[in-house]
Amino acid sequence: MKRALYVDTMIGTVGDGQIEKSHGGGKTYPGACVPGGMVQLSPDTVSGGDNGSGYNYCHNTIEGFSFNHMSGIGWYGDLGNLQVMPVTEDTDLRSGSNEEIPFRKGTVGWKSEFSHDNEKTRAGYYSVMLDRYKIFAESTTSEHAGFLRFTYPQDAEKKIIINLSRRIGGKADFQEVEILSNKKIEGHIKCTPAGGGFGHGHGGIFYDVYFVMEFSHPFINKRFFENEEFTDACQGEDLGLFLDFSKEITDPITLKCAISYVDIDGARKNFAAECENIDFDTMAENALEKWEEVFSCIKVSGTDEIDLKLFYTCLYHVLLDPRTMADVDGRYKINYEIFRDSDYKQRTVFSGWDVYRSEFPLLSIIRPDMVRDDINSLLKIAEINNSSFPRWELLGINAGCMVGDPGLIVLADAVTKGLNPYDIEKAYRVSKASSLCEKELDGKAFKSIRPDCKEYLDDCYVPEKLSDTLEYLLADYTMAKFAEITGKTEDAELFMNRANRYSENYNESLQFMAPRKEDGEFVFEEDRYDDDGTVESNIFQQSWFVPYDVKGLSRLFGEKRTIDLLEEFFERADLKSLWNDDYNHSNEPCHNITHYFSILGLPERTQYWTRRVQKEAYRTGAYGFCGNEDVGQLSAWYVLSALGFAQVCPADPKYYLNTPLFKDIEIKLDKNFHSCKVADTLTIKCDKNPLDFPYIKSVKLNGKEVTECFLTYEEITSGGEIIFELR
């Protein structure tokens, strides 16, 4: 069976509200896409609320199919542009489920009921029966284009609605359409923060979508509408297009559509490259084969079908983003200026605060080319803006979501693994300027994402903000490693000294980390479960966040107390829950704490708790993720731990061991980025079924006993064979 056929895109599709007590909120979408594709053609059940993917399994109506989406995100989402809906009647001129835009009361809209029993998905394909109209809708994609196929009842009216103003988290600001013929149209959609989008506009996201769309059959009538009224105008601020086709058509009506974020010429080139001379079934098969090809980076074998389904579904989510933002001719747009790819692919959708923890450590092993692409993409954006690397990047814009300096962290980690950006000295200067909150770089004004405050610059803390403080201190650690590897010893000492001041945030009376006031005194905290000054965490959870000095943290807490607290931290947690006051797998600050036990000399507890998290925080079905999937991070944790290790600290390329989930694993290495000193593959074998024997007795790497509880990145990417002897 093809590995790609294990993918279940319905896993994690529960969104805002309607969340089970013990599971939910993955916020993934079930629609069609190819690895890293610009187009994600997925059904939309809702445009409002905190349903960032546009789809919520708990809903029972579909309002249409739009051409771009993001997976697993909160903050109200964005994209979801160019929504298409087939209908069999003239309907109210609204979707009926967009909570962001007020409409006339009492209107039903064009949305249709559907049943999950009639949804069919696989990697690169989605279909559903629209019950209201008895229309069978199918979708598939290529990298820059999408293909829809609608099978209507034979005796029904045949119509298609195109909603041009629709946008997840808000609406598009301006839309225009040109009718080229009775089978082909072109258009442009402009989105700015004024229309909402990411953070309801607070993310500052602006972009243009250009499209070319062609139908298999001629439409016999066209009607534009705006603000729920038909109009003669072909441009506006709330524009839609109602197309009528001949009732006598007996075969399915299809439409192909290519998009570009650059200009209409880009959309035309994308269309010519990917939509000409291809039918729906061929594109769908090509999409499946693209997934099969990228899945060749990891082959696992096991007898548990659920584990295989979860593994390849998680790997699928890892490889969705960062996605391409360039057209087939290599052009892309940032800040309304057009650039062109050179020796790397400009990528977008960098959920930095999330993905530096597991996704990039995984990608550096299985897809180092994606890591290279993304650090170059981040550096390019920093150069264009003369600023820090983006914290949360979408279409070249720093949305500023979350905290810390994750772009620097990802880049520094890559450099310690020999994955260098196109200009390492420029990258270093940007990193240092960001870390020191410089006002100028290379003779131009510079904007740092770090807080420009005396307390941080002089005393290494951000007043009232513990999470920010510890994130910046980790970034300082990675900056020290960046300086060290590039021979800048004075800088390395400066930043390491800053990182090591984490202990000054330890409140002796509380016996945990705590935020400090401007005068240096600690903010009063009732107990360890207070969340003052923390982000998606509490005092107890955030207090563990010193991944670069776990042993030092243990001495600070007291060594016996540390072990007792760690055990309590995990024992008290409901691992499948959307939120825990103790270990909380649904949010990133707790990720990789499972491997602290190994660092502290108790590897069997790492093995125990890692397996518990794998089996309880992940499952099949719509409630399959315990929290937001977060653009690949939650999935990457599962994949990496299933391979048998996890990188605890960025820029410290040690991968701490745990028991693999599968008996036989083969990882394809890349000679362009990895040393491959021993072989161009890494084989991981267990002498017994790891589901029955969850503990490690010994580990051998290429015939030699492994005496540490970790392997280095260089050891892993040299290739060869790892043998786990289990008990």
User: Do residues 12 and 624 lie in contact, with contact meaning Cβ atoms separated by under 8 Å?
Assistant: yes
What are the residue ranges of CATH 2.70.98.10 in the chain?
A: 9-295
The three-state secondary structure class of 327 is coil
The pTM is what? Answer: 0.97
Q: For the stretch 541-551, what's the b/e string if a residue is b when 16 or more beta carbons lie within 10 angstroms of its beta carbon?
A: bbbbbbbbbbe
The pair phi, psi for residue 367, each rounded to 5°, is: -145, 65
User: Do residues 361 and 650 lie in contact, with contact meaning Cβ atoms separated by under 8 Å?
Assistant: yes
The structure tokens listed for 45 are 């059940």
What are the residue ranges of CATH 3.30.2080.10 in the chain?
A: 544-727
User: Do residues 698 and 725 lie in contact, with contact meaning Cβ atoms separated by under 8 Å?
Assistant: yes
Q: How many CB atoms lie within 10 A of CB 570?
A: 21
The sign of the CA dihedral 447, 451, 455, 459 is: negative
The three-state secondary structure class of 260 is strand
Q: Under CATH, to which class is 9-295 assigned?
A: mainly beta
User: Do residues 161 and 85 lie in contact, with contact meaning Cβ atoms separated by under 8 Å?
Assistant: yes
User: Do residues 53 and 14 lie in contact, with contact meaning Cβ atoms separated by under 8 Å?
Assistant: no
d(CA 479, CA 20): 41
Residue closest to 321 by CA, chosen among 263, 371, 390, 378: 371
Length of the chain: 727
Q: How many CB atoms lie within 10 A of CB 501?
A: 14
Taking the alpha carbons at both ends of the chain, their separation in whole angstroms is: 31
Question: In which residue are the tokens 């109602």 written?
Answer: 242
In this prediction, residue 24 carries a pLDDT of 57
d(CA 312, CA 635): 10
d(CA 56, CA 13): 6
d(CA 326, CA 330): 5
The CATH code that applies to domain 544-727 is 3.30.2080.10
In this prediction, residue 25 carries a pLDDT of 85
d(CA 98, CA 356): 34
d(CA 74, CA 680): 39
d(CA 606, CA 592): 10
User: Do residues 274 and 258 lie in contact, with contact meaning Cβ atoms separated by under 8 Å?
Assistant: yes
- One DSSP character per residue, 251-291 reads SPEEEEEEEESS-HHHHHHHHHHHTTT--HHHHHHHHHHHH
Q: What is the mean pLDDT of each run of 10 residues along the chain (727 residues)?
A: 97 74 76 99 87 92 98 94 98 74 62 98 99 99 99 98 95 98 99 94 97 99 96 97 98 99 99 98 99 98 92 99 98 97 94 99 99 98 98 97 97 99 98 96 95 84 97 98 98 98 97 96 93 96 99 98 99 92 97 98 99 97 95 99 99 99 98 98 98 98 98 99 99
Question: In which residue are the tokens 């650690």 written?
Answer: 477
